[in-house]
């Protein structure tokens, strides 16, 4: 760890600009340029090539190399542990601090009750032993890992661009400007007539003790939280139990919305779904697909200004963080022509297939990077 360069109270220099390395600025990897008058507390002074490791929410593995001096004093918030050494290359140290071996030891220094309150204790972090090869070897290892990491970043950026493209297409086809000439209905009006909108079993209808190791799948928040259907925790009920709960059956093309916990997430049930029901944490919508396609409703719920305004208004009056079936049923829905919905479904389907290919490639790159990282820090690269 670094010997301290001291600290500064920027508010004592109200007209001076500082480069502030803060947690909020981390994602963009660009320090905030702030006047001293806008910085409310004392900060630690840092230097170019210092390596910063976040001690808060430690499982995220935030590491940041301090950049060059751009004519302003360099300061960092107190959430960072600062590392500085002439015998350790900054890029090598950044990769080491993010590696699995160091991270496992780092997490043993953590205290707190959970979530954002977790933080590592710098005095204990300083006791972690690391193996450091020669500077030449450090630079060789860092160069290899930098190249592998760059491939991961590019693939992640490609996925983000595809998401942005899908959003742009939807808003161009169905945004407020397009919806002006359409009649407005409700989600309830485009649901299948009988039991088209339903939540899962409540209370004693389904007890946790009734889950078994295999059988009929039970879908929950984890299957929907990514705004696309993904398999999560294994939850099953017996065929006998299903007979009493079959009115909660989930079918291909149904739209699932989270209404408890992490609210407002949305996913379409895939065509490959086995026999399954949903929990009380989800609202399941079976659509009249002659009027409304699941691809349209899914994007409408997540992207359309009318839907977002409606949910925001309802949330203001909510006592707790949750939705209810009535709120979803009453959500206003511009009645886009079904031919336009079909055209959108084809376009977004093609984007989704490309996204899946990129995600598979990203998984392979993640595995490759993890393998390289392991070899790098065990001396076998």
Return the half-sphere exposure (C-beta side, CA atoms, 13 A cut-off) of residue 253: 11
Are 253 and 277 within one domain?
A: yes
**Residue 150, domain member (yes or no):** yes
Mean pLDDT of 157-175: 96
Are 146 and 156 within one domain?
A: yes
Distance CA 127, CA 124 (A): 5
Number of domains comprising the chain = 3
148 close to 23: Cβ distance less than 8 angstroms: no
Are 330 and 376 within one domain?
A: no
The parent domain of residue 77 ranges over: 7-132
Mean pLDDT of 12-18: 96
The chain-wide mean pLDDT, for the chain, equals 92
Of 138-152, 162-176, 305-319, give the lowest mean pLDDT range: 305-319
Per-residue pLDDT tens digits for 256-314: 999 988 888 999 999 999 999 999 999 999 999 999 999 999 999 999 999 999 988 87
Per-residue pLDDT tens digits for 31-82: 999 999 999 899 999 999 999 999 999 999 999 999 999 999 999 999 999 9
**Residue 178, domain member (yes or no):** no
Are 309 and 227 within one domain?
A: yes
225 CB contacts (<8 Å, ≥6 apart)?
258, 262, 265
Are 49 and 193 within one domain?
A: no
SS (HEC) of the chain? CCCCCCEECHHHCCCCEEEEECCCCCCCCCCEEEEHHHCCCCEEECCCCCEEEECECHHHCCEEECCCCCCCEEEECCCEEEECCCCCCHHHHHHHHHCHHHHHHHHCCEECCCHHHCEECHHHHCCCCCCCCCHHHHHHHHHHHHHHHHHHHHHHHHHHHHHHHHHHHHHHHHCHHHHCCCCEEECHHHECCCCCEEECCCHHHCCHHHCECCCEEEECHHHCCCCCCCCCCCCEECHHHHHHHHHHEECCCCEEEECCCCCCCEEECCCCCCCEEECCCEEEECECCCCCCHHHHHHHHHHCHHHHHHHHHHHHCCCCCCCCHHHHHCCEEECCCHHHHHHHHHHHHHHHHHHHHHHHHHHHHHHHHHHHHHHHCCCCC
Are 193 and 326 within one domain?
A: yes
**Residue 107, domain member (yes or no):** yes
The angle formed by the CA atoms of residues 206, 208 and 209, to the nearest 5 degrees, is 105
Q: Determine whether 73 is exposed, middle or buried from the number of CB atoms within 10 Å of its CB (0-12, 13-18, 19+).
A: middle
pLDDT band at 252 (very low <50, low <70, confident <90, very high): very high
Are 77 and 21 within one domain?
A: yes
The model's pTM:
0.79
User: CATH number of the domain that 350 lies in?
Assistant: 1.10.287
User: CATH number of the domain that 88 lies in?
Assistant: 3.90.220.20
Are 192 and 323 within one domain?
A: yes
Distance CA 269, CA 250 (A): 8
Characterize the bridge pairing of strands 282-285 and 255-258. Answer: antiparallel
Residue 115 has pLDDT above 80, yes or no: no
Distance CA 76, CA 5 (A): 11
**Residue 2, domain member (yes or no):** no
């Amino acid at each position: 760890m670094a010997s301290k360069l001291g600290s500064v109270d920027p508010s004592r220099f109200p007209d001076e600009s500082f480069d502030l390395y803060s947690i909020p600025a981390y994602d963009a990897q660009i320090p905030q340029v702030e006047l001293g008058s806008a910085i409310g507390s004392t900060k630690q002074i840092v230097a170019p090539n210092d390596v910063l490791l976040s001690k808060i929410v430690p499982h995220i593995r935030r590491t940041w190399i301090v950049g060059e001096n751009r004519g302003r004093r360099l300061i960092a918030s107190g959430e960072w542990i600062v590392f500085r050494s002439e015998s350790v290359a900054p890029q090598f140290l950044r990769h080491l601090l993010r590696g699995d071996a160091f991270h496992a030891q780092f997490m043993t220094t953590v205290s707190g009750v959970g979530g954002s309150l977790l933080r590592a204790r710098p005095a204990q972090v300083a006791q972690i032993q690391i193996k450091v090869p020669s500077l030449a070897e450090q630079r060789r290892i860092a160069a290899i890992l930098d190249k592998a990491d760059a491939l991961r970043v590019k693939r992640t950026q490609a996925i983000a661009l595809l998401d942005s493209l899908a959003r742009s297409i939807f808003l161009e086809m169905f945004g407020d400007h397009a919806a002006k000439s359409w009649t407005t209905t409700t989600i309830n009006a485009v649901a299948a007539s009988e039991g088209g909108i339903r939540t899962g079993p409540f209370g004693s209808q389904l007890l946790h003790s009734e889950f078994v190791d295999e059988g009929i799948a039970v879908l929950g928040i984890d299957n929907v939280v990514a705004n696309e259907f993904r398999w999560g925790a294994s939850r099953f009920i017996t065929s006998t139990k299903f007979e009493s709960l079959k009115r909660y059956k989930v079918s291909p093309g149904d739209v699932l919305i989270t209404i408890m916990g992490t609210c407002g997430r949305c996913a379409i049930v895939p065509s490959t779904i086995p026999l399954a029901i949903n929990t009380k944490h989800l609202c399941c919508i079976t659509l009249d697909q002659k009027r409304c396609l699941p691809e349209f409703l899914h994007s409408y719920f997540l992207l359309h200004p009318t839907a977002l305004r409606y949910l925001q208004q309802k949330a203001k009056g909510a006592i707790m963080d949750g939705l209810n079936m009535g709120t979803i049923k009453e959500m206003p829905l511009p009645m886009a022509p079904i031919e336009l919905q079909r055209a959108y479904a084809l376009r977004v389907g093609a984007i989704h297939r490309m996204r899946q290919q990129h995600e598979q490639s990203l998984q392979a790159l993640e595995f490759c990077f993890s393998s390289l990282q392991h070899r790098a820090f065990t001396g076998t690269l």
